[in-house]
Homo-oligomer: A and B are copies of this chain.
């Protein structure tokens, strides 16, 4: 009992971790992906990283700030994926645009918790400048592709509005899929096919709609 400097099983019970910031981000990301962002506790992340629960406050203002960092990195990765996929399928083509949508959903499925953080309701995240900034860059990419498509195919219509339609649809698909809301209604749905089949209709110019 009492105090003693007895070493633990750990090779070297360092007093200082050394890379605690990154270690906490990694632990948080893992735990959030496992148990969901709502059930995540900072204390658990501390245990994974092997530090006490007060340690994180040397690197982050609080729990929220770790989540912000993860969301911001998520936008960067999503943008990277989009650009990669479009480069493979062809800039400004229908196939490229469909592939972007499918990549969006794939990201949501593979990094569900990060995706939820990125687009969730947490108001403090909406105010974090670098989060909003990376998100905006991400969308600009879509507009560019749509504008190019419209130009090539002589589609009359605002590229921004068409891009918004596409984003809306694809985001809906991703949300309903990861929240398992399709299950009660169409458990066997193939979302990639759904996107491929809906995209052409969304890419058309706005029809003269009969008021709404």
Closest approach, in angstroms, between the C-beta of A119 and any C-beta of chain B? 5
Which 8 residue pairs spanning A and B have beta carbons closest together? A172-B172, A196-B212, A201-B201, A168-B172, A197-B206, A171-B172, A139-B185, A200-B210
Instruction: Provide the A162-187 mask, 1 if CB < 8 A to any CB of B, else 0.
Output: 00110111111101101111111110
Q: How many copies does the complex hold?
A: 2
Q: Is A87 an interface residue (CB 8 A)?
A: no
A173 touches which of B123, B168, B186 (Cβ 8 Å): B168
Q: How many residues of A contact B (CB 8 A)?
A: 61
Interface string of A107-133 (1 = CB under 8 A from B): 000000000100111110010000010
Asked if A94 is at the interface (CB within 8 A of a chain B CB), the reply is yes
